[in-house]
């Protein structure tokens, strides 16, 4: 009888140790298909740029590319999708490439939430998620600034791992989910500032006016930069690239002519409204770099200081998710019932009682 009791205790312990017995695992092919037909495709279609999303089954990678050279890869197993970028020596070029990674990671997150039955939800904004066993998400980033050496500034993704287990995604949404931002950004405008002005280049940073970001990193307003040689002239797109414009990221505009004035302004993707323009005069050859030129003279009454306060979250505490335990109540009840039936059966079988 002691052996039977030991067996029963072992079964109970096994129940607590076993993870997500009743989970539904999302197939990788469904994730790839969802990305291929989702918002990321619509986004690149707006630039007449072709998006390709493929499943490299040989190397077990999701590969996202565009016709203009954008490229992103994330590895996968039967249980999760993972992106790791732990290079010690990060360069300005690495950082610029990582901007495309934000789009790739955001599209993967959106696809998994949708396939798990949470298409109307997004994840609360946080730069660090560490409790993968409970919530099925790891997200670690590092703040970097390469504006002084020819790159951008912002948060550089170090590691991202998301589970294909719908039970974990359910728990993630339960504790850290919120309604997806239904705003199409149609009424948003963005101001711009200039930094690191040289004789042939300038960094332009767009910041959305009168907007407070409360969504996830996969659901933020993106801005494009436009340039003209006259304030009332025709403004042309400087690059197909669009960057997070809730504050902190800038776009390099080069191939400029020395000692020449240009006008820049931004437009939020999804909006037809241009924000106020800024005049930038490049330096003569040999002059030193000029930093931090704003558009206060041209922003048509927009209070930039208020905008900065609304968008600057760099000093806010970045909290990790609270820890939690997995729910095994169903499995535990099943084991208890089976254990009870076994016990009653044993009590009525003399030959088993000899055990």
As a whole number, the mean pLDDT across the chain is: 76
- Whether 322 is covered by a domain: the verdict is no
Whether 96 has a pLDDT exceeding 80, the answer reads: no
Burial grade of 72 (CB within 10 A; 0-12, 13-18, 19 or more): buried
Q: What per-residue confidence (pLDDT) applies to 248?
A: 78
Residue 159, CA distances (Å) to 83, 140, 283 in order: 6, 5, 40
pLDDT at 94 > cutoff 80: no
Angle between helices 92-115 and 28-37 (to 10 degrees): 110
Q: Does some domain include residue 319? A: no
Give dist(CA 51, CA 34) in Å, integer: 13
Both 149 and 225 in one domain: the answer is no
Are 38 and 171 members of one domain? yes
Assess whether 46 and 169 both reside in one domain.
Answer: yes
- Domain check: are 273 and 337 in the same one? no
Q: What is the CATH number of the domain that holds 277?
A: 2.60.40.10
| In a shared domain, residues 150 and 126 | yes
Residues in contact with 321: Cβ distance below 8 Å, sequence separation at least 6, in sequence order = 126, 129, 130, 131, 134, 135, 175, 176
Tell whether 149 is covered by a domain: yes
Regarding whether 304 and 256 lie in a shared domain, the answer is yes
Domain that holds residue 12: 1-22+330-355
Reported as a pLDDT band with limits 50, 70 and 90, residue 13 is low
85 shares its domain with 57 = yes
Look at residue 185 and tell me if it is in a domain: no
Give the count of domains, the chain. Answer: 3
Please tell me whether residues 117 and 241 are part of one structural domain: no
Same domain, 91 and 143: yes
Whether 355 shows a pLDDT value over 60: the answer reads no
Last residue in a domain, options 130, 156, 180: 180
Asked if residue 143 and residue 51 are part of one domain, the reply reads: yes
298 inside domain? yes
**Same-domain pairing of 347 and 214:** no
153, 180, 207 - which closes a domain: 180
Among 160, 180, 200, the domain-final residue is 180
pLDDT at 172: 94
What backbone torsions phi and psi does residue 105 show, to the nearest 5 degrees?
-65, -40
Q: Using DSSP, state whether 332 is helix, strand or coil.
A: helix
Does residue 32 belong to any structural domain of this protein? yes
Which pLDDT does position 103 carry in this prediction?
83
Residue 318 lies in a domain: no
pLDDT, residue 137, reads: 94
Q: How confident is the model at residue 108 (pLDDT cuts 50, 70, 90)?
A: very high
Pairwise CA distance, residues 34 & 301, whole Å? 43
Q: What is the pLDDT of residues 163-181, one digit of tens each?
A: 999 999 999 999 988 876 5
Statement to judge: residues 249 and 268 lie in one domain: yes
């Amino acid at each position: 009888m002691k052996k039977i009791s030991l067996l029963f205790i072992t079964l109970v312990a096994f129940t607590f140790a076993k993870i997500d017995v009743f989970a539904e695992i999302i197939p990788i092919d469904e994730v790839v298909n969802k990305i291929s037909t989702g918002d990321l495709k619509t986004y690149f279609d707006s630039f007449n740029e072709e998006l390709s999303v493929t499943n490299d089954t040989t190397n077990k990678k999701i590969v996202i590319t565009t016709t203009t050279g954008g490229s992103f890869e994330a590895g996968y197993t039967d249980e999760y999708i993972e992106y790791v970028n732990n290079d010690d020596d990060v360069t300005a070029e690495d950082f610029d490439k990582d901007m495309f990674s934000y789009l790739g990671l955001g599209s993967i997150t959106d696809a998994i939430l949708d396939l798990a039955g949470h298409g109307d939800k997004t994840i609360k904004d946080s730069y660090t998620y560490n409790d993968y066993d409970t919530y099925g998400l790891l997200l670690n980033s590092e703040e970097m600034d390469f504006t002084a050496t020819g790159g951008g500034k912002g948060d550089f993704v170090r590691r991202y791992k998301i589970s294909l287990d719908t039970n974990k995604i359910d728990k993630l949404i339960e504790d850290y989910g919120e309604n997806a931002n239904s705003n199409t950004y149609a009424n948003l405008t963005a101001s711009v500032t200039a930094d690191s002005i040289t004789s042939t280049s300038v960094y332009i940073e767009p910041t959305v006016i009168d907007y407070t970001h409360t969504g996830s990193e996969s659901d933020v307003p993106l801005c494009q930069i436009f340039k003209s040689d006259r304030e009332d002239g025709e403004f042309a797109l400087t690059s197909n690239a669009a960057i997070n414009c809730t504050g902190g990221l800038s776009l390099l505009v080069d191939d400029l002519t020395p000692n020449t004035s240009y006008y820049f302004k931004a437009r939020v993707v999804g909006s037809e409204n241009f924000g106020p323009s800024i005049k930038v005069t490049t330096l003569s050859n040999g002059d030193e770099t000029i930093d931090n030129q704003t558009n206060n003279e041209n922003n048509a009454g927009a209070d930039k200081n208020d905008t900065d306060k609304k968008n600057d979250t760099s000093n806010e505490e970045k909290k990790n998710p609270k820890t939690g335990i997995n729910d095994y109540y169903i499995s535990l009840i099943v084991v208890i019932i089976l254990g009870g039936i076994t016990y009653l059966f044993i009590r009525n079988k003399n030959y088993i009682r000899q055990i």
